């Protein structure tokens, strides 16, 4: 059973398009996250949600909008995609804050 699952695994699209990445966790966790890994493999937090409420938004452009319909899901919508958005996006979850985080397998986004 996959604990944190992301779809799609790969996403290739044109500049200017709007796309979404879905994340679901079946661990019963209260806290979920989105991280971005750039081409140099540096990982950086984008958003943190606790009990469906946004608790961290790390200076991410407002073209990125997370949506949490329930505690098990945290989806990432990206509008007007730019070349610089090409990266691997990881979803993660933890039982609550200050607990170990478990990561999904990542979504590789490529902008043409």
Partner 1 sequence: GIQVEQSPPDLILQEGANSTLRCNFSDSVNNLQWFHQNPWGQLINLFYIPSGTKQNGRLSATTVATERYSLLYISSSQTTDSGVYFCAVDPAGYALNFGKGTSLLVTP
Q: Provide the binding-site residues for partner 1, judged by CB under 8 A.
A: 33, 35, 40-45, 48, 50, 55-56, 58, 88, 90, 97-103, 105-106, 108
Smallest separation (angstroms) from partner 1 to the CB of 28:
17
Residue tagged 């505690």 (tokens): 71
Among candidate residues 69, 62, 3, 73, the one with its CA nearest the CA of residue 34 = 73
For the CB of residue 56, give the shortest distance to partner 1 in the complex, in Å: 5
Of 2 and 79, nearer to partner 1 (C-beta) is 2
Say which residue the tokens 């991280």 belong to.
35
Between residues 75 and 93, which has the closer beta carbon with respect to partner 1?
93
3-state secondary structure 1-44: CCCEEEECCEEEECCCCCEEEEEEECCCCCEEEEEEECCCCCEE
Q: Which is nearer to partner 1, 48 or 75 (CB)?
A: 48
């Amino acid at each position: 059973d996959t604990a944190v699952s992301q779809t799609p695994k790969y996403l290739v699209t044109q500049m200017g398009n709007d796309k979404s990445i879905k994340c679901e966790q079946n661990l019963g966790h209260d806290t979920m996250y989105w991280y971005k890994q750039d081409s140099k493999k540096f990982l950086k937090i984008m958003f943190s949600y606790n009990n469906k409420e946004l608790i961290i938004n790390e200076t991410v452009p407002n073209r990125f909008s997370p949506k949490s319909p329930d505690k098990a899901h945290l989806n990432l919508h990206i509008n007007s995609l730019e070349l610089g958005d090409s990266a691997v996006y990881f979803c993660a979850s933890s039982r609550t804050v200050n607990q170990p985080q478990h990561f999904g397998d990542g979504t590789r986004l490529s902008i043409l």
